[in-house]
Structure 1
């Protein structure tokens, strides 16, 4: 078969050959011989279909060339197709004569023209005719001369690249017998005809006729395909998919064209796009790559249409031909999308975690950020950015991708909300300030500073507060009896304050300062003026 990928029909013929060859050496029953007869009938019908089709192809080639004005480049193809048909008829008739001679000598058919099972089993006459009398060696030579002759005819009309394998092979040239020590050294004649029943050999010869006609069909098709067109030597074939977009939203359709792309490694085409040279790879495919500049105006969908205009210059029939090509594409207006728990405003001196995306850029998005009035930390994934704003004003975030500026986003800086003071017992239970408290329950008292709930949820890494400044006083009839300074709300000197306390007194906490620990572990003190009274019982 040809060097190209085999068609289903070619694979079927090759498989049938292997099946026949493998069965030749078997001691076959009448039922198996009858199967050989059926196989032979099918192959002979296939041969007749091939002959009808190939004859019409030759006639079609002659008719098409005449209708197109008998172009000088096409006229030789008519003669070539006729030569192919003649060479094929010659070898086909030769094989048919051998088959008929075998039937006559073996008495394989009776006077009514029906096959005789007993004679189809004969294994002596096949060896005598094809091995002892040399008919097998002669057949091998004639069969293998045929594809060589067809290749020569094709070469005369510029189709020399289409070549075919030998038809008659020794066992060593057949993959089926690679690991068969007994068979792998057998010649074509011994492999196919020694101790082979007449019925199997008849089917085998019909199979060779099929192979010959298949080669003819492929050759005539190749000639026909060049009529009225140029012949471009394509030695690279690839499967390609051209999608409308390689970024598809979930729930929408993915649409693309799937096709076979062919090129030539020897054509050396020159390619340009919008006047710029295009790099051509060793396979002959051009690689277009450029940075898309922003459009001056976009439609209501945020798109701007552009058209690439290119040319491919290549040698066709010995002359340089210019093949124009155009391709429409759309420039999408880049929209910066920011995702965050605190997207409207950013908290001062806090780690505001943002995800900044430009969906229109798809997989090409490779962001860089420039932050003014603040600091920034890039995350591990594209678009992740932590912004630490200054104390007040606005934060400006410039977004770029691949060296191209996309745009900017601005945010107001929001101050950190003041915490709420919460007195709690040593076990963490919050006091009910509407109720008087026993002196004993106040001994392990703590003054906690709890972050505002939204800030605590969205900025957990920056929401650790503690009381670090103020004083607590013991009042009796509004007169101070004892005063103690506060430096740590988690460790209050309550025992010292409450030494002389009795029912009816009031403990007053006057808090002046709280300290927040930020995401870096830095302590940030801030003023807080708040008074918390607790009645004693």
Structure 2
């Protein structure tokens, strides 16, 4: 069945049709005949109720038209509704006459409480509905009337099926049965069919006819007053000149009632982009673009235009709206502990801000001669220069370029190296007693300013240094160490006053914030002569 959402009654009729189709395929027995009779009784009860409902719908349409002032368009609705009711009543009357004919041809009413004298009569049904080899029975006339009725209804609802009387090939159930699919409408529904089953078939067809009539009448009822715009949704609205107000300035707003009709779905378009309509309101969202002349306040003044089109009783009415807005070009602001230059191979953390964008600011970062990563906060960018060439940072938000900034790149300042004996500083002029040296310690001190700005980048480690013992210009011994501290106790027995201990740091690495290691140049302070006395 075509149409909108089915009522519980219509769903019940559909299930009865499926049961009827199944019963027709069974061998006829007294129990089966009783079930056909039950189906027929149930369907006819529903049909009589539907006729009453449809009649009341006609009355409701008539009353609604009168209440609306008997307007010409509404009068045409009444005419259409009465035409549908008349055609339906004629078809139902014809089908009821067929019921009477079949009962009569099968022996008439029963006696002693039986409904029919021959409830299981089949031959009389074949003669009356199929008509023998010539196929001139009443079922063929019924087929024509049902399909003509369907064609009549399609002018009111194009979703009505093209046919209500289907052949075996057209019926979705019979077409799957090799014994039924080649039968015409009369054979499919009335061949070898007992009286009560034939009556149930007619009752089901009546139910289908009345269902479609009900759908059409409900649709026509909804057209009464359709060319009048009825505002049934009313709510309060307020608009302000600005949602952001500086202290000491005036806040201005307007408050008013707005209304719309829930029966109308306006079509809305705008020069700014697509419009989403929700509850009669158009929602417009677009990314404001820069470009264009600025006014005295530095704002770019722009305008978008929208159109609201209502289809009212087949006619379009269009309203045009125009809205001005101002665009502020965001300025890029860079802040950090030091923005004058970046350090080579260091994670330089900067804050790239665009205050004009507020909460809508969602930056992405790119550029040249460095890698760029987003920090813990959305405005934080981590820049690691890959060379000492100038770095260009580009900042965008929402696909719109905000600005660029160029930074010079400097190398990390070298640390200061302190050489100690027994973990104590050494006076290289006086030296140390020849009997005291046990350990040589290398102390690496980062540049103070660099350490203050980048504490996670100012970590150093000595990985190689050498200790030589000399006397009179000749080398007595040599030891190599792979950390910042070396045990020279094995040399103690060889040391004499006047000897010298020469310390040379050969390799130092720097650890960055990730723990990655970088070899750095060894400073000139990384070697010393320690005289022994």
Superposed pair shares fold, TM > 0.5: yes
User: 1:321 offset after TM fit, Å?
Assistant: 0.6
Distance 2:20 2:358 in 1: 62
Q: Which consecutive residues of structure 1, in runs of 5 or more, have no partner in the other structure?
A: 233-259, 295-306, 424-431, 435-440
1:70 matched residue in structure 2: 70
Distance 1:417 1:108 in 2: 118
Question: Could you tell me whether the CA contact under 8 Å between 1:391 and 1:415 is conserved in 2?
Answer: no
Cα distance change, pair 278–291 in 1 and its aligned pair in 2 (3 A) = closer
Instruction: State the Cα deviation string for residues 455-501 of structure 1 (Å, max 9, x = none).
Output: 9xx999x899664786525599xx99958899984799999x94964
Give the alignment partner of residue 192 of structure 2, picking from 187, 191, 195: 195
Distance 1:356 1:198 in 2: 89
SS in 2 for 1:74: helix
Matched positions, count:
446
Superposed counterparts of 1:449-488, under 5 Å: 467=462, 471-474=466-469
Cα distance change, pair 354–142 in 1 and its aligned pair in 2 (3 A) = farther
Distance 1:192 1:503 in 2: 129
Distance 2:180 2:477 in 1: 109
Question: Could you tell me whether the CA contact under 8 Å between 1:398 and 1:409 is conserved in 2?
Answer: yes
1:220 matched residue in structure 2: 217
Superposed counterparts of 1:273-288, under 5 Å: 273=270, 276=271
Question: Could you tell me whether the CA contact under 8 Å between 1:119 and 1:198 is conserved in 2?
Answer: yes
More off after superposition, 351-360 vs 508-517: 351-360
Superposed counterparts of 1:390-401, under 5 Å: 399-401=395-397
Question: Could you tell me whether the CA contact under 8 Å between 1:377 and 1:385 is conserved in 2?
Answer: no
Cα distance change, pair 385–7 in 1 and its aligned pair in 2 (3 A) = farther
2:6 matched residue in structure 1: 7
Give the alignment partner of residue 172 of structure 1, picking from 169, 174, 196: 169
Cα distance change, pair 61–218 in 1 and its aligned pair in 2 (3 A) = same
1:146 matched residue in structure 2: 149
SS in 2 for 1:388: strand
Instruction: State the Cα deviation string for residues 9-39 of structure 1 (Å, max 9, x = none).
Output: 6565445434423421310443333333332
Question: Could you tell me whether the CA contact under 8 Å between 2:416 and 2:523 is conserved in 1?
Answer: no
TM-score by length of 2: 0.61
Question: Could you tell me whether the CA contact under 8 Å between 1:465 and 1:516 is conserved in 2?
Answer: yes
1:388 matched residue in structure 2: 384
User: 1:525 offset after TM fit, Å?
Assistant: 2.1
Higher CA-based Rg: 2
Q: Does 1:205 align with 2:202?
A: yes
Q: What CA RMSD, in Å, does the superposition of the two structures yield over aligned residues?
A: 6.2
User: 1:97 offset after TM fit, Å?
Assistant: 2.1
User: 1:69 offset after TM fit, Å?
Assistant: 1.6
Q: Does 1:514 align with 2:508?
A: yes
Distance 1:522 1:49 in 2: 92
Question: Could you tell me whether the CA contact under 8 Å between 2:468 and 2:479 is conserved in 1?
Answer: no
User: 1:142 offset after TM fit, Å?
Assistant: 1.5
Distance 2:148 2:58 in 1: 22
Q: Does 1:291 align with 2:290?
A: no
Distance 1:463 1:95 in 2: 100
Superposed counterparts of 1:407-418, under 5 Å: none
1:376 matched residue in structure 2: 370
1:55 matched residue in structure 2: 55
SS in 1 for 2:370: strand
1:525 matched residue in structure 2: 521
Instruction: State the Cα deviation string for residues 405-425 of structure 1 (Å, max 9, x = none).
Output: 5689999x99979999999xx
Question: Could you tell me whether the CA contact under 8 Å between 1:514 and 1:527 is conserved in 2?
Answer: no
Q: Does 1:184 align with 2:204?
A: no
Question: Could you tell me whether the CA contact under 8 Å between 1:314 and 1:320 is conserved in 2?
Answer: yes
1:367 matched residue in structure 2: 364
Q: Does 1:348 align with 2:351?
A: no
Question: Could you tell me whether the CA contact under 8 Å between 1:21 and 1:192 is conserved in 2?
Answer: no
1:313 matched residue in structure 2: 309
Cα distance change, pair 483–46 in 1 and its aligned pair in 2 (3 A) = farther
Q: Which consecutive residues of structure 2, in runs of 5 or more, have no partner in the other structure?
A: 230-261, 277-281, 291-302, 425-437
Cα distance change, pair 231–223 in 1 and its aligned pair in 2 (3 A) = farther
Distance 1:199 1:17 in 2: 14
SS in 2 for 1:173: coil
Cα distance change, pair 502–196 in 1 and its aligned pair in 2 (3 A) = farther
Distance 2:121 2:350 in 1: 89
Question: Could you tell me whether the CA contact under 8 Å between 1:448 and 1:490 is conserved in 2?
Answer: no
User: 1:366 offset after TM fit, Å?
Assistant: 7.3
More off after superposition, 499-508 vs 8-17: 499-508
TM-score by length of 1: 0.61
Instruction: State the Cα deviation string for residues 255-300 of structure 1 (Å, max 9, x = none).
Output: xxxxx99989xxxx7x543xx375699xxxx996631369xxxxxx
User: 1:170 offset after TM fit, Å?
Assistant: 0.2
Superposed counterparts of 1:243-258, under 5 Å: none
Distance 2:38 2:524 in 1: 104
Cα distance change, pair 529–446 in 1 and its aligned pair in 2 (3 A) = closer
